Chains A and B, each alone.
Chain A
Amino acid sequence: MKILVNADKCQGHARCYAIAPELFDVDDYGQSTVRGDGVVPADLIEKAKLAIANCPEYAIDVLED
């Protein structure tokens, strides 16, 4: 699985960071980015799905399943 945060959609809730700090980083304004190249390790796929389902702006895109 490979994910990307759509910077235009992200409104700075930092929910993804609260749920999966291993996968996301945020700046002080809550603007989120994926760590590294966005490839999700197998053991973090459930967390990634949780973060995707909990983004109020639907801003986390799945590039590859």
Chain B
Amino acid sequence: MSSLQPSHSLIVVGAGLAGWRLVEALRRDGFSGELLLLGAESQRPYDRPPLSKQVLSTKWTIDRAELASAERLKELNVNFLASHTATSLDVDTHCVKTSAGEQYRASHIVIATGSRARTLDYSATEHVHTVRTHDDVVRLLGELSEKDEPRDVVIIGGGFIGAEAATSLATLGHRVTVLEAMERPLMNVVGPDVATWLEGLAADADITLRGSQVVLDVVADAESLRVLMGDGSSIGASLVIVAVGALANCEWLESSGLEIRGGVVVDDHLSAGNDIWAIGDVARFTWRHDPFVEELRIEHWQTANDHAQYLAAQLLSAEPSPPLSMVPYFWSDQYGKKIQMLGHPAPTDEVTCVLGSPEEAKWLAIYSRDGLVTGLIALSHPRALMMSRDLVGEHSTVENALALQPWT
């Protein structure tokens, strides 16, 4: 007998990609019981990746990022409540309380509250933008539209979102400066070698990128903003964006008794016990991929999607499910190029370029640890990357990879 029967009910707390894809998959695969989807934001479920790309560059209007229309929610018989922020969970009674004081109960609970943009405390914080939500991007575009002229934009943080926002705003004609705290952006993700290969891309896109930057404060004067730097200098800007990563939305569970460590700790089946699960950005999950075992949290579209599909299948399966198995994937559209990564390599893993070269800004590289392939990363080489996917899934030896050359 499967875990989820038609007589059961399920509350999905969080209406981002993970929550919405779970609901969709459960209905697609035959669950007919009651489904309640609680969203903290005022919009219906929408997709975040386009916000910093197509929407910020004004190629799309923001409504194109919508994932679930009112008709679709009705068709799937999902009770969706927007602007309902969960404030606590009782793990014994499965009671979810919201900020408006309502209480909801169900036989099964899925935590999918995602993550939020990390902010920094500046004197002029109220003038500083983040790029994470629908409302963030509406506010940012609204401010840009007040004056029809190129702006001086400073972006604090050169990671994925910082670089994507920089690219989008530069294509609109704004003068963009990106301030990165590390010597080079993404060193902590892609490792020092690959970070070096990516370094020239910003300049090619007419974006000023500065590494090893210490930002002390952002202050406002009558007409503009000023970014105060650690070396005593300052940079004037009419718009400042901070893009320094994300934090899991798990504070609401602190009194629940669930194990929280920068995320909701779940096992290799995404279970927190007692018919409670966590998926997507908020889940700190165990990932077994022989010979490696890791406990991690991944904030990418693909992982949210993988978690949702895996959990739906597990809840509806009559047989015990195998542990979560996946090949993580992420992409980022930076400075006019597409970066894609398969696997979850450590920044300290060894890197071997196997196709193209950094000079031609088109390459494919292997990450390896103890002689085993742990990941693949490509710049503008999507086909070659995907042809080589099995190397990561199977943790092939580097020797074998170089002999097979599946990318050719």
Q: Cβ of A27 and Cβ of B329 under 8 Å apart?
A: no
Q: A49's closest neighbor in chain B, by CB? A: B28
Taking CB atoms, residues of chain A closer than 8 Å to B305 are 53-54
Taking CB atoms, residues of chain A closer than 8 Å to B387 are 17-18
Q: A17's closest neighbor in chain B, by CB? A: B386
A38 within 8 A of B: no
- Partner of B386 from the list A15, A27, A56 (CB cut-off 8 Å) is A15
Q: Cβ of A56 and Cβ of B382 under 8 Å apart?
A: no
Taking CB atoms, residues of chain A closer than 8 Å to B302 are 54, 56
Q: Cβ of B382 and Cβ of A12 under 8 Å apart?
A: yes
- Partner of A26 from the list B21, B25, B340, B386 (CB cut-off 8 Å) is B386
Tell me the minimal C-beta distance from A8 to chain B in angstroms. 11
B127 within 8 A of A: no
CA–CA, A11 and B332, complex, Å: 11
Taking CB atoms, residues of chain A closer than 8 Å to B301 are 56
Chain A, interface SS category: loop
Taking CB atoms, residues of chain B closer than 8 Å to A27 are 383
> Given A13-B340, A15-B329: A56 and B49 within 8 A (CB)?
yes
B118 within 8 A of A: no
Tell me the minimal C-beta distance from B389 to chain A in angstroms. 5
A14 within 8 A of B: yes
Tell me the minimal C-beta distance from B26 to chain A in angstroms. 13
Size bracket of the A interface: 10 to 19
Taking CB atoms, residues of chain B closer than 8 Å to A13 are 331, 340, 382, 386
User: B293-315 interface mask toward A, CB cutoff 8 Å, 1 = contact, 0 = none?
Assistant: 00000000110010001000000
Interface residues of A in 1-49 (CB under 8 A from B): 11-15, 17-18, 26-30
Interface residues of B in 72-104 (CB under 8 A from A): none
Q: Cβ of B331 and Cβ of A56 under 8 Å apart?
A: yes
CA–CA, A17 and B47, complex, Å: 22
Tell me the minimal C-beta distance from A45 to chain B in angstroms. 13
Q: Cβ of B382 and Cβ of A29 under 8 Å apart?
A: yes
Q: A26's closest neighbor in chain B, by CB? A: B383
Tell me the minimal C-beta distance from B253 to chain A in angstroms. 28
> Given A53-B309, A56-B302: A14 and B386 within 8 A (CB)?
yes
Q: A27's closest neighbor in chain B, by CB? A: B383
Q: Cβ of A30 and Cβ of B382 under 8 Å apart?
A: yes
Taking CB atoms, residues of chain B closer than 8 Å to A54 are 302, 305
User: B367-396 interface mask toward A, CB cutoff 8 Å, 1 = contact, 0 = none?
Assistant: 000000000000011110111010000000
CA–CA, A11 and B382, complex, Å: 10
Q: Cβ of A26 and Cβ of B49 under 8 Å apart?
A: no
Q: Cβ of A28 and Cβ of B329 under 8 Å apart?
A: no
Q: Cβ of A17 and Cβ of B383 under 8 Å apart?
A: yes
Tell me the minimal C-beta distance from B59 to chain A in angstroms. 11
> Given A18-B389, A54-B305: A26 and B382 within 8 A (CB)?
yes
Q: B333's closest neighbor in chain A, by CB? A: A11
Taking CB atoms, residues of chain B closer than 8 Å to A53 are 21, 25, 305, 309
User: B23-50 interface mask toward A, CB cutoff 8 Å, 1 = contact, 0 = none?
Assistant: 0010000000000000000000001010
Q: B64's closest neighbor in chain A, by CB? A: A9
Selected A-B contacts with CB under 8 Å, 16 pairs = A11-B333, A14-B385, A15-B329, A15-B386, A18-B386, A26-B382, A27-B383, A28-B381, A28-B382, A29-B380, A29-B382, A30-B382, A53-B309, A54-B302, A56-B331, A58-B47
Known: A27-B383, A54-B305, A56-B301. 9 other contacts (CB 8 A): A11-B338, A14-B382, A17-B387, A26-B382, A29-B380, A30-B338, A53-B21, A54-B302, A56-B331
Kindly list the 6 A-B residue pairs having the minimum CB-CB distance in the complex, ordered from nearest: A30-B382, A18-B386, A14-B386, A14-B382, A18-B389, A26-B383
